Amino acid sequence: MKAVVENEHGGPEVLTVSEIPTPELGPDDVLIDVAAAGLNRADALQRQGKYPVPEGASSVYGLEVSGTVRALGDDAARTSFLKEGHKVVALLAGGGYAEQVVVNHAQVLPAPANIDLEEAAGLPEVAATVWSNLFGPGGLNPDGPRKKDGEQSVLIHGGTGGIGTHALQLCRALGYHVFTTVGSAEKVAWVEDLLARQDEANAAKNAPRTLGQATVINYREQDFSEIIREQTQGVGVRAILDVVGGKYLESNVASLSVNGLLTVIAVQGGRHGSMDLGALMTKRATVRGTTLRALTSEKKGEILRLMAGTVWRMVSDGLIDPLVGRRFGLDEVRAAHEFFDSADQRGKTVLVMG
């Protein structure tokens, strides 16, 4: 089968398509004929040599796919809902940039209704990341805001990326006031257009939800912590999902409410920062860092099961758009990474097999 294997590190030019054997099917595994694979920031970091493959994971790039079940191991066939021919998505530790992939059945879900498989490929990694980091222990209520301790609001950094756009749509659909940061007036307009389309999709429903307010902040011209302080009357936000890291640390802590939670999932703005520990203590707030890739199959499966009922329904209803902006063939993997690395990247980019 064709696949993109990690061989050397550098820019997109190091990526090549090779012929490799089909992976072996274990008793708990599912063999999937891949329709499409989503690109993620972790893929670019792995390409640059900054994100080592976890022990035991495939050296083939790719953390999320959609496709069709080709075969099941004996235990997977006996214990899972999956059958040959099912249209599915999968959350991976690696192996997605390939025509076929083997993955533990716990990491597989039915593809959402009302979208195509290429769109579905952009969902598993972002949906699991957002859900596990915003709605886990100490985080937001997955049923919507509890009107106390600032839980009415949340801050999402990187509002035009795959993580940011998914988190923005989900939290707003649940009724939270969402603050999000972007880096230009053009990106502000792009996010506002996304919000308008979500409003239209909601209005078309037989039983529309009460969507939360959204505030889009151009961080090059505005101080997000000051805007949050003003719009929340000094309460702050209950949770922050941060992909920037060091340079935002102090402002993030300043933006938290009492009992607030700051989760750092990437360090695009640097690995080091400073903060006021007194403010952290006074607010009884929590700062944590997480990664999804190295979690066990059982833990990933638990996250998928917890999020799927809510998120998949919203995707099928049009309240969450996977926002696949560009689609590239597997043989165009270099061009896909060049685009992904550029300032033109919005939402999700996918590699299409076949």
Q: What is the DSSP string of 103-146?
A: EEGGGEEEPPTTS-HHHHTTSHHHHHHHHHHHSSTTS--TT---
> pLDDT band for position 25 (50/70/90)?
very high
pLDDT in tens, 285-333: 898 888 898 899 999 999 999 999 999 999 999 999 999 999 999 999 9
Q: Is the pLDDT of residue 123 over 90?
A: yes
pLDDT in tens, 162-216: 999 999 999 999 999 999 999 999 999 999 999 999 999 999 998 899 999 999 9
Residue 221, strand partner residues: none
pLDDT of residue 244: 78
Write the CB contacts of 296 (distance below 8 Å, at least 6 apart in sequence).
none
Measured CA to CA, the distance from residue 234 to residue 165 in angstroms comes to 26
Query: Cβ-count burial of 327 within 10 angstroms (0-12 exposed, 13-18 middle, 19+ buried)?
Result: middle
Q: Whose CA is closest to 342, among 169, 161, 180, 167?
A: 161
Q: Look at the block and give the residue holding tokens 């000051």.
A: 226
Question: Worst-scoring range by mean pLDDT, 31-35, 88-92, 143-147?
Answer: 143-147
Helices 162-173, 297-316: axis angle to 10 degrees equals 60
Measured CA to CA, the distance from residue 264 to residue 238 in angstroms comes to 14
Query: Cβ-count burial of 8 within 10 angstroms (0-12 exposed, 13-18 middle, 19+ buried)?
Result: exposed
DSSP-derived letter for residue 98 is B
pLDDT of residue 280: 81
pLDDT of residue 32: 98
Question: Worst-scoring range by mean pLDDT, 33-37, 157-161, 262-266, 274-278?
Answer: 274-278
Q: Is the pLDDT of residue 136 over 80?
A: no
Q: Is the pLDDT of residue 151 over 90?
A: no
pLDDT in tens, 212-234: 999 999 999 999 999 999 999 99
Distance of CA 342 to the CA centre of its chain: 19
pLDDT of residue 245: 78
Query: What pTM does this model have?
Result: 0.94
Question: Worst-scoring range by mean pLDDT, 4-8, 92-96, 99-103, 145-149?
Answer: 145-149
131 near 35, Cβ under 8 Å? no
Structure token pair of residue 325: 């902006």
**Rounded mean pLDDT of the chain?**
94
Rounded (to 5) percent helix, strand, coil in the chain: 35, 25, 40
